[in-house]
């Protein structure tokens, strides 16, 4: 079921993306030779309005074939830049067609987010790194014998409040790490905790024998506080969703850059900055249990991510093609088909290789 939900969200995002390219191309009087829902072998086709509409076997994408984007064959059998359709447009027309796909994804994300916000409000998350939140306590462990319980918030160690941030060897870390350090040192300690809204002290002695653990699991971020801010109506939701989309752009670009650097340094180590198809299917399973609003929020995030990713200036993506169009405008002439083909091939190979390592990271998470 989760795979079907993920595929449905993905295919809606892809079809809408390609419809954006199709619609603006037709507005610019550029023919669209084919529009395919799905990839791979063609299962069915029908011709309408000068376009061959296709249903293909693999529900993992789609494409449009826009006239004038592929090179032509000259009299000698070689390649030459196209001279009709997309190629004859001025730069602003080319950019409009290329930009339309990502813009459609971003607009759908805003519409979906506005619906979620107006129905459920906006979830706001505050992280307090000055508190160690215990998620579980192992039965029969030293932690349980000392008196700790799941849900306790450790706020002080041996009479000293945990700080927001701690610095060790010049490297910053969350303040709650001081509580972990105390457990590693062993000995007698007094931890102050908040339990059921009240503060209390727990004094205990722990000197770990080889292989013995204290017996707690804790949030890696500190205390995470989630609140909901109501939204008056759908119009207010649209405004909030638009703000979210704008602020998401630099965060997504930064996250993508960090993920690329991380993968280049250690290709087989999963990155926390990107989620591949395996992780997305697992998320789809979780949101499906939570209800329709979480599914719609997940769909919005996928559309927003797809729109931003396609705008990156990577050859073979829409952003890369926009960059090519702008460079050609400055040069005053098109690139040779061999040049453009090689650059796009390199960009495509980079994206595929990146996806392979992301999937490897996804699979490796399953065993953790």
- End-to-end CA, the chain: 23
Q: Which two tokens stand for residue 179?
A: 């509580």
CA-CA-CA-CA torsion sign (10, 22, 64, 81) = negative
Residues 6+ apart with CB under 8 A from 137: 143, 144, 148, 149, 150, 215, 216
Catalytic position from the list 18, 75, 124, 199:
18
| Percent helix / strand / coil, the chain, rounded to 5 | 50, 25, 25
Helix (H) or strand (E) segment spanning residue 166: strand 165-168
Instruction: Supply the DSSP string of 26-75, one letter for each residue.
Output: HHTT--EEEEEEEEEEEEEEEEETTEEEEEEEEEEEEEEEETTSSPEE-T
The C-alpha atoms of residue 319 and residue 336 are separated, in whole angstroms, by 19
Which of 187, 75, 195, 49 has its CA nearest to residue 134? Answer: 195
- State residue 299 phi and psi, 5-degree precision: -65, -40
Cα-atom radius of gyration of the chain, to the nearest Å?
27
The two counts, helices (H) then strands (E), for the chain are: 9, 14
Q: Long-range pairs for 149-152 at CB < 8 Å and ≥24 separation?
A: 149/195, 151/195, 152/193, 152/194, 152/195
Query: Is 18 an annotated catalytic residue?
Result: yes
Decide: 109 and 209 in contact? Cβ < 8 Å: no
Closest CA to 322 of 93, 33, 105: 93
Residue 234, both tokens: 């759908």
Residue identified by tokens 């030293």 is 142
Work out the number of other CB atoms within 10 angstroms of the CB of residue 319: 20
The residues annotated with a catalytic role in the active site are 18
């Amino acid at each position: 079921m989760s795979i079907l939900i993920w595929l449905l969200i993905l295919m809606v995002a892809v079809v809408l993306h390609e419809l954006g390219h199709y619609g603006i191309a037709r507005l610019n009087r550029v023919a669209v030779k084919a529009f395919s829902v799905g990839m791979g072998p063609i299962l069915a086709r029908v011709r309408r309005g000068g376009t061959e509409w296709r249903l293909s076997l693999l529900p993992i994408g789609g494409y449009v074939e826009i006239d004038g984007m592929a090179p032509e064959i000259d009299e000698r059998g070689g390649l030459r830049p196209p001279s009709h359709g997309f190629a004859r447009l001025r730069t602003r027309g080319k950019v409009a067609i290329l930009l339309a796909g990502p813009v459609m994804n971003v607009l759908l994300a805003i519409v979906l987010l506005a619906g979620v916000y107006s129905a459920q409000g906006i979830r706001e998350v505050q992280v307090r790194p000055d508190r160690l939140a215990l998620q579980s306590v192992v039965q029969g462990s030293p932690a349980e014998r000392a008196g700790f319980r799941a849900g306790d918030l450790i706020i002080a160690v041996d009479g000293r409040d945990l700080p927001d941030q701690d610095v060790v060897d010049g490297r910053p870390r969350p303040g709650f790490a001081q509580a972990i350090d105390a457990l590693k040192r062993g000995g007698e300690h007094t931890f102050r905790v908040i339990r059921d809204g009240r503060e209390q002290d727990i004094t205990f002695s722990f000197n770990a024998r080889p292989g013995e653990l204290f017996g707690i699991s804790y949030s890696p971020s500190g205390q995470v506080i989630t609140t909901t801010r109501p939204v008056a109506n759908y119009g207010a939701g649209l405004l909030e969703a638009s703000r979210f989309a704008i602020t998401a752009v630099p965060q997504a670009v930064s996250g993508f850059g960090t993920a690329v650097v991380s993968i280049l340094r250690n290709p087989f180590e999963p990155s926390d900055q990107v989620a591949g198809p395996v992780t997305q299917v697992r998320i789809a399973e979780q949101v499906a249990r939570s209800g329709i609003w979480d599914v719609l929020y997940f769909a919005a995030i996928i559309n927003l991510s797809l729109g931003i990713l396609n705008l990156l200036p990577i050859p073979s993506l829409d952003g890369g093609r926009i960059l090519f169009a702008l460079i050609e405008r400055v040069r005053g002439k098109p690139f040779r088909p061999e040049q453009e083909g090689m650059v796009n091939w390199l960009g495509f190979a980079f994206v595929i290789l990146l996806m392979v390592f992301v999937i490897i990271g996804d699979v490796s998470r399953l065993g953790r």
